[in-house]
Homo-oligomer: A and B are copies of this chain.
């Protein structure tokens, strides 16, 4: 058997970021999924091999798995469906966590495959294929997790048709505390409770906060960023799904966080902070508050200018 293989890592991500429902997201440093793709000359595999803490909790069939669907979308679009591949997914991110778990798998898979084929596409050009993975995972081909997972840092999605993704530099000091309470929320369920129509005044306020947040971030105005982290579209409906959320948010703010909101569709919660020291203190305080609400949790601290997908190994 002749074989070549590439292993890629793609980070967890925080989407929505309060005022940026469906349009903003950023990469988290150090946690994410890994995918190894092996080009074979003997047989194709329709079953994805798994490892990692959560490897036994997702479909192994290639056409039902986000990594497999992303890969097949790429192969189809580039006319390479003849390739015989073995896919191995190290599933480290919890499902239904609001940490962009499905996006991480899809991003790692597509990044590895593109590298294996000599990088014919740019990283930005990979985004639509990873979005197809999201479609199978949660019913909506959104980009606010896959784009930051691939590109790293903070991204703004201006438009889907055509896809218009802007990578924005964050202040160096800007950190994020992320806390994952041990309950599971399905993104599809969290989307189902959203209203289809909203009052025009809420739309105006949402646009004002999104515009002000970007202004604050680019101008390094932390106070403005904090005032702008407010979601009128999804968060009012979703807070009910996360026990102790309001109290935890208040705890984050009381301990020095700039702002706080639901990460993706939850239950994870993010808090933006100035510097790692404050971010660490906020993490401890939030963990305690969730514990008092009856939930154990994991916490992570990350700078916002975190790297995106990367190649770990080639053979």
Q: Which residue of B lies closest to A202 (CB)?
A: B203
- Is A215 a contact of B159 with CB atoms below 8 Å? no
- Interface centre among A198, A208, A215, by most chain B C-beta atoms within 10 angstroms, is A208
Does A121 belong to the interface (CB within 8 Å)?
A: no
Asked if A53 CB lies within 8 Å of chain B CBs, one says no
CA distance A203 to B159 in the complex (A): 12
State how many copies of this chain the complex holds.
Answer: 2
Partner of A207, one of B200, B210, B224: B210
Contact A23-B203, Cβ < 8 Å, known A156-B215, A215-B166:
no
Q: Does A211 interact with chain B (Cβ within 8 Å)?
A: yes
Q: Which residues of B contact A24 (CB under 8 A)?
A: 211
A205 & B159 in contact (Cβ 8 Å cutoff): yes
Is A277 at the interface (CB under 8 A from chain B)? no
Distance to closest chain B CB from A164 (angstroms): 6
- Rounded to whole angstroms, the CA-CA distance of A215 and B212 in the bound complex is 10
Interface residues of A (CB under 8 A from B): 19-24, 156-159, 164, 166, 168, 194-200, 202-215, 218-219, 224, 227-228, 233
